[in-house]
Amino acid sequence: MSASLLNRITIDPNVCFGKPTVRNMRYPVEMILDLLSAGMTTEEILQDYPDLEQSDILACLEFASRIVKVKSIHKVMLAA
């Protein structure tokens, strides 16, 4: 994936408490990932959120992929 996709992911302390968002539009990356993991298709997400583009969804996936490519994994407590 190209770096241009990642340019769609923005981090601004004044937008969504500094969480990574799609193009500063207050769509947190985590929300898009949650929708995908809940089984929504890209097409369904784009229908529900017409401000988004297919490249935005791909950018969220690329961002998540790069985040989990770490040299070590530490056990994280999951909320019940």
Q: Give the mean model confidence (pLDDT) for residues 42-66.
A: 97
pTM, two decimals, is 0.83
Q: Domains (ranges, CATH) in the chain? A: 3-68 (1.10.10.10)
- Which amino acid makes up residue 47? Q
Q: What is the pLDDT of residue 69?
A: 84
For residue 55, what pLDDT band results from cuts at 50, 70 and 90?
very high
Q: Give the mean model confidence (pLDDT) for residues 9-28.
A: 95
Pick the more confident residue, 27 or 67: 27
Cβ count near 30 (within 10 Å): 14
Taking a C-beta distance cutoff of 8 angstroms, is the pair 56, 32 a contact?
Answer: yes
DSSP 8-state secondary structure symbol assigned to residue 59 = H
For residue 36, what pLDDT band results from cuts at 50, 70 and 90?
very high
- Which amino acid makes up residue 52? L
